[in-house]
Structure 1
């Protein structure tokens, strides 16, 4: 029986190639995130890619915890934040400069993000330490940034594919439309660790023009990457193609096995209690400055756009 295509993560293994991975297909959840903020289409596309990537990575958590992807850069889209709370909750938002966006000739993800960094944080909660990996953004795509993260932080050969698009119904652009996103992550995990060949780190005192030779890939990993490269964007987001069908198309000659899947839902963590706790961390003077002309403090959640209205007394401000 095929699993539901929408809002679903499907783990898989291809024993013949020593690879494991996950497919994610996002429908109503990503449409809800993007439409709530009414982003320009190019911003929606980039944030959709970031959400698909975050779900691919965060769904690997073996514990109840939170995986966060965040970018800070000098591009027209200067910040992306995506939270994935295991096992199934996601939320996200983007910050952008509308004027700069309108003047840009390119809509490539790397150009829109510009230069800065991408941070991936695992927060297991409680007394456990947080882990964070940071990679530079240098005008590159989120796929390329993910590959660099795995090369330098995990040293696991990894290939990621991401796709985002609007699906139109009715009379083309004048009819109904909904955002969809999809992603595929494949990792080379052979039983014999010596089969994983990684490129040496660039020596800090080497001449600037020194070119480090790439490490030769294992034949199985070379084949796996070649198969992944055959995926078309529409295959990752087409609601009529189940994840199992996509995996069979790619790996049937090598024998692909799927495992129990996991649903995904858009869900914000904000609440009246969390907002109160945040406001009480400010000084009395800062809280007084937050009081509006209507005599109330209004806070809007950046993720879900929900508005919270509180009285000064709620946050410990007296009338005197």
Structure 2
């Protein structure tokens, strides 16, 4: 709402998705702001700054896109590439739990940092050729939805805009920023959507002038403002769009709870051939498996491993 209808909450808030509506035009939007959740995801992986920054952008973008969908399960945003960064994954559960993982060539990243610095300006330099994939998984009894788009530079957000335009016939405006601050890693992102008319198969009657105006207002937001903990989500949205009236809706809280567990690790071990499991074992016969998302180690003693493999063999006979 505009300030005349209801006072804006100026209390800073983090780790949320805040939906809103520009009332005069009907343009929908979302603002994601990440504080401790993003810092937890990036710090526990002990990543070089430019790698952490790109993964942080993917986590923020995944939160934006995942929050626009109606699903009961897991939304995954994944990048596959042939550059210094090989794989990036961000996923979000329908309850708002976020995770992130990146696989990269450490030597290639070190070389790139010497050549272009620590602030990624063009994803082509870091990712090379590749694609971005979108997956919604609602469990065994539901069909998985998947979309895919080639990477478009110079920012990850450009690939997301291209996906909206080509696959969903939606015009989208996106801003994203990730910064390491004295308090830790912070991220912010804004999404504006110009939705198609389901009856006409075309965009709504929002005029080009109104759409351009909304994009201009959004672009007036600086990257520093996007991640600033002293500005509440509602305050920032009001600051950008109050001239056209803005209504905010109930926000969704986000957290960084990983879904890994010892039970899942045991299931993975059971799914592997015994000779492959033995190849993974240490000299003392134990096995340690690490969660790629949260870096938690799961250790199986030789006795536990033998008992598990014996139980697996018995169940297969």
Report the TM range for the smaller structure's normalisation. 0.7 to 0.9
1:65 is matched with 73
Taking the TM superposition and a 5 Å limit, the aligned residue runs for 1:149-164 are 149-164=163-178
2:41 matched to 1:41? Answer: no
The runs of at least 4 consecutive aligned structure 1 residues that moved more than 4 Å come to: 190-198
Q: 2:257 aligns with which of 267, 284, 287?
A: 267
- 1:180 maps to what in 2? 186
Higher helix share: 2
Deviation at 1:193, TM superposition (A): 6.2
- Secondary structure (helix, strand or coil) at the match of 2:244 reads coil
In 1, Cα distance between the equivalents of 2:153 and 2:83? 9
CA RMSD in angstroms comes to 2.2
Q: Name the counterpart of 2:305.
A: 312
Tell me, yes or no, if structure 1 residue 97 matches structure 2 residue 110: no
TM-score normalised per structure 2: 0.87
Unpaired runs of at least 5, structure 1: 169-176, 199-215
**119 and 195 in structure 1: CA distance in 2 versus 1, 3 angstrom threshold:** closer
Q: State the shift of 1:62 in Å.
A: 2.4
Asked if 1:22 is matched to 2:30, the reply is yes
SS at 1:144's partner residue?
helix
Cα 1:29/1:273, change in 2 over 3 Å: same
Runs of 5+ unmatched residues, structure 2: 1-8, 312-317
1:248 aligns with 2:228: no
Please state how far the C-alpha of 1:72 moved relative to its aligned partner: 0.8
Q: 1:85 to 1:314 in 2, by over 3 A?
A: farther
Correspondence 1:80-229 to 2 at 5 A: 80-104=88-112, 105-106=115-116, 107-110=120-123, 111-168=125-182, 177-189=183-195, 196=202, 218-229=208-219
CA distance in 2 between counterparts of 1:192 and 1:134 reads 22
| Matches of 1:121 and 1:153, distance apart in 2 | 14
In the TM superposition, residue 29 of structure 1 has moved relative to its aligned partner by 0.5
SS in 2 for 1:179: strand
Stretch of structure 1 that moved more, 269-278 or 181-190: 181-190
Please give the per-residue CA displacement for 1:224-277, whole angstroms capped at 9, x wherever unaligned.
Answer: 111111111011100001111111111111110000111100011100111111
Q: Helix, strand or coil: the match of 1:305?
A: coil
Aligned length: 294
- The residue number in structure 2 matching 1:174 is none
